[in-house]
Chain A
Amino acid sequence: MAGKIDDEMMEAVAILAQLSIREEEKDAVREEMERMLDFVDQLNELDTAGTEPALEVISYGNVFREDEVTNGNEAAAMLANAPQKQDGQYQVPKTVE
């Protein structure tokens, strides 16, 4: 895998991860990822062609419930944790011009 993560890939992963990687960190982060992926690549030694992916640990099928409101209006309690708020709303930077 070494050398497989190019600048474009790094940027794409950072966008998916919603993280900013500083220019001076890039090489170290890339090296770490490649080292980890090299380690993970040993999974390819195993033949898994006939094995279904185990999506669940213990399978009980889907779990359904009625879509009913069981709690009260907890808006004030929820908003109490907001880093910035205004007029009973979460405050965020302007998103549309």
Chain B
Amino acid sequence: MKITDLTALELGRRIRGRELSVREALEAVLKQIHENETRIHAYITLADETALFARADRIQKAIDEGSLTGPLAGVPAAVKDNICTEGMATTCGSRILSGFVPPYQATAAARLEKAGVLLLGKTNMDEFAMGSTTETSWFGPTKNPWDESRVPGGSSGGSCAAVAAGEAFFALGSDTGGSIRQPASFCGVTGIKPTYGTVSRYGLIAYGSSLDQIGPVARDTADCAAVLDVIAGYDPKDSTSVRRSDPGSFTSCAASAAGLRIGIPDDYLGKGLDPEVKDAVLAAAESLQEQGAQVRFFSLGLVRYAIPAYYVIACAEASSNLARFDGVKYGFRAERYEGLHGMYKESRSQGFGSEVKRRILLGSFVLSSGYYDAYYLKALRVKAQIRKAFDEAFRSFDLVLGPAAPAAAPRLGESLSDPLRMYLGDIYTVAANLAGLPGLCLPCGKTKEGLPIGVQLMADRFQEAKLFGAARAYEQVRGTFPMPGGKKEKEAAR
């Protein structure tokens, strides 16, 4: 087994057990990056290798001395490029942040570093996390490691592709409407969007502040739990940060499906769902049932209203959050303009891509005087009803199970021509963001063409432990999900 095929926890164990050095782990992952990155393009920025090896030696010393004992000490990982890293360029996949080097560290990244994680670099993403394919990045698309003619999903496509391609042992992503769960599904990796407020958003460049949440992407559920244990926790620098007592205990969540009440919304299995995805998702439910879970179909309701409500709210918040990018304090400034306002307008018009501008315009419209009540407040009322529908569901069920995306990964270039159709692909994921719920996606099969399919589990707010327990129970039966062979190997085998 290659070092880069190990899970993060297994790598951490071997480093602590002196079977592997931190340097060896770093060398292995850098080799994988050098071999794959020109084809996959999972990263926007890679850390300086000399500095990485120096840090690897410092971590090794701390492990040897016994001052660094955590399960992720010495593990190399990647961070999505909308999470600020002190001294390392942070672009959000946008021209408007070109050249921006944050003078401070996001809390989630700081917590990883404190735990002895090596930050390899910053992963590619849809510009400002607006997109479902990682194709709207100013730096060009990321390819899906399972089939390089396909997208990795998005917006955390770089993070998911990096983990799938062995270019990181785990990664941080962010999820505003499914941006961790959908690419995890497309790339055959595991990802969780925690309950809103669980991971500090300090240093996460805001898209839709009431929906954004940072979460882990990894090889399996145990790795996700271990990463969440490190990054979760109250942070006075984020006023929406929640004080909860269970971070630190997720790693020890045992596999457990017995007695769990699992609901499958009928409304998630109807028109638009690819039959292969449906079969794989229902087979996962059956597997949980065989392990003692009670599985029942139910009608969730309001499902088709989640996307329009989501786009109004997300775009409204984005139009406000992205007002700060004006070419004055950081990033891109247009070369030619007339006057101060001309400079703002030209810098923004040239600095933002078309999907970002589309959402800023829509957001500005729905917040404008005369339309605020009809669109923005209406969407917030619908959001309240959607949340209520989930509250009711969680009176009868411990978990809600469904797909993460209507189909496996589309081909590059297929999605952007019809934005509305692309938005509809978020139908199974946006509700968790509107209601603040945790959602976990893990691989449950492959299509005939060999593309990964993910199953999504959602729980009530603060019930991550149930997600981890059920997901681990499912994994015990499923077994280790394979890493992609990639086209190169397939061709070599021919």
Contacts and interface: CB of A to CB of B under 8 A. Distances in A.
Contacts of B362: 33, 36-37
Interface string A1-45: 000010000001110111111000000010011011101101111
A91 B119 CA distance: 34
A54 B384 contact: yes
A51 B381 contact: yes
A63 interface: yes
A58 interface: yes
A48 B377 CA distance: 10
A93 B378 CA distance: 40
B349 A16 contact: no
Nearest to B98: A83
B323 interface: yes
A69 interface: no
A56 B381 CA distance: 11
A17 B360 contact: yes
B447 to A, nearest CB: 29
Nearest to B238: A63
B90 to A, nearest CB: 10
Interface residues of B, number: 70
Interface stretch (B158-166, B176-184, B330-338, B474-482): B330-338
B329 A90 contact: yes
Interface string B480-494: 000000000000000
B236 to A, nearest CB: 7
A60 B238 CA distance: 13
A57 B333 CA distance: 36
A87 interface: no
B339 A78 contact: no
A52 B380 CA distance: 8
B283 interface: no
A62 B302 CA distance: 30
B328 interface: yes
B463 interface: no
B365 A13 contact: yes
A43 B363 CA distance: 16
Contacts of A43: 305, 308-309, 312, 378-379, 382
Contacts of B337: 93
A43 B375 CA distance: 9
A40 B343 contact: no
B107 to A, nearest CB: 14
Interface in B323-359: 323, 326-333, 337, 339-346, 348-349, 352, 357-358
B87 to A, nearest CB: 10
Say which size band chain A's interface belongs to.
Answer: 35 or more
Contact of B345 (A20, A44, A48, A65): A20
Interface string B47-65: 0000000000000000000
Contacts of A40: 308, 311-312, 366, 375, 379
Contacts of B309: 43
B494 to A, nearest CB: 45
B196 A92 contact: no
Contacts of A35: 420
Contacts of B436: 57-58
Interface in A54-81: 54-58, 60, 63, 65, 74, 77-78, 80-81
A57 B384 contact: no
Given A51-B381, A57-B436, A13 B339 contact: no
Contacts of B375: 37, 40
30 contacts: A5-B365, A13-B365, A16-B319, A18-B323, A18-B341, A18-B344, A18-B345, A19-B357, A20-B345, A20-B349, A21-B349, A32-B358, A32-B419, A33-B362, A33-B365, A36-B311, A40-B379, A43-B378, A48-B384, A53-B383, A53-B384, A54-B384, A57-B210, A57-B435, A58-B436, A58-B461, A77-B103, A81-B99, A83-B327, A94-B340
Interface of A: 5, 12-14, 16-21, 29, 32-33, 35-37, 39-40, 42-46, 48, 51-58, 60, 63, 65, 74, 77-78, 80-84, 90, 92-95
List 3 tightest A-B contacts by C-beta distance, closest first: A53-B380, A57-B436, A48-B381
